[in-house]
Structure 1
């Protein structure tokens, strides 16, 4: 029997993939949801991740969008994926205790997936949209 072109990945396996990324571990990222074209990545908003005005740094938001997009794409393409490109728009300052990103696949073929991602900061249980991103995820298989 031959190996499937895109072996399925479940939440536990996706969490192991995230844990294998030293930068993600350094930032404290965690995968809250994964599968069926969706990924939710969360990141505690520590002081070390803020810029001089107290907001989460734009680079942190870009990282979170990039990884959430890639995991969403990987949920349909399989685990061997990379970001082919992404754009992000910062909509308001990211002030809160938690960054939550929700990425979804808009369209997928065998070799790539186009995904969207909304980024929210959560303060006292209230989520506020702070950025939006989109990107193309490509299979490396």
Structure 2
């Protein structure tokens, strides 16, 4: 596998930063390229549901964005998620949420992607809390 392209990662980070909701959550893109993307979100008290776990909406947001960035890494900029399913596997509790996405199959205009969501606990252990799959569509031709 070729080394990551720092310019592509920086472009993707600027794209993420252009999303006000992503800035509100404090989302960071740490991996981008070659059909992969990793999105990290520091967990805050405001993200909790009534039982103290990370709200499913935050998990869904993370999966959606990670899937789209993974797809965009092979389809080019200007992509949109056209559909996504998510399965919540266990309550998410921890200090950092990681959404790790990869392209399963890509054509010229569409990619099917998978995303696994993990939380890092206060003790440093990593726990799988959700899994998602989605379809990403190139809204404009690749340059």
Alignment-derived partner of residue 108 in structure 1: 106
Tell me, in whole angstroms, the C-alpha distance in 1 between the residues paired with 2:23 and 2:72: 19
List structure 1 segments (4+ residues) > 6 angstroms apart after TM superposition. none
**SS of equivalent residue, structure 2 residue 111:** strand
Q: 1:15-35 CA distances to partner (integer Å, 9 max, x unpaired)?
A: 000000000000110001110
Alignment-derived partner of residue 82 in structure 2: 84
Tell me, in whole angstroms, the C-alpha distance in 2 between the residues paired with 1:70 and 1:125: 28
Tell me, in whole angstroms, the C-alpha distance in 1 between the residues paired with 2:137 and 2:21: 21
| TM-fit CA distance, 1:112 | 0.5
Tell me, in whole angstroms, the C-alpha distance in 2 between the residues paired with 1:75 and 1:106: 13
**SS of equivalent residue, structure 1 residue 136:** strand
- TM-score, normalised by the number of residues in structure 1: 0.93
- What is the number of equivalent residue pairs in this alignment? 133
| TM-fit CA distance, 1:126 | 1.2
Tell me, in whole angstroms, the C-alpha distance in 1 between the residues paired with 2:49 and 2:87: 17
Alignment-derived partner of residue 29 in structure 1: 27
Alignment-derived partner of residue 6 in structure 1: none
Q: What are the ranges of 5 or more consecutive residues in structure 1 without an aligned counterpart?
A: 1-8
Alignment-derived partner of residue 17 in structure 2: 19
Mapping for residues 41-60 of structure 1, pairs under 5 Å: 41-60=39-58
Tell me, in whole angstroms, the C-alpha distance in 2 between the residues paired with 1:125 and 1:59: 24
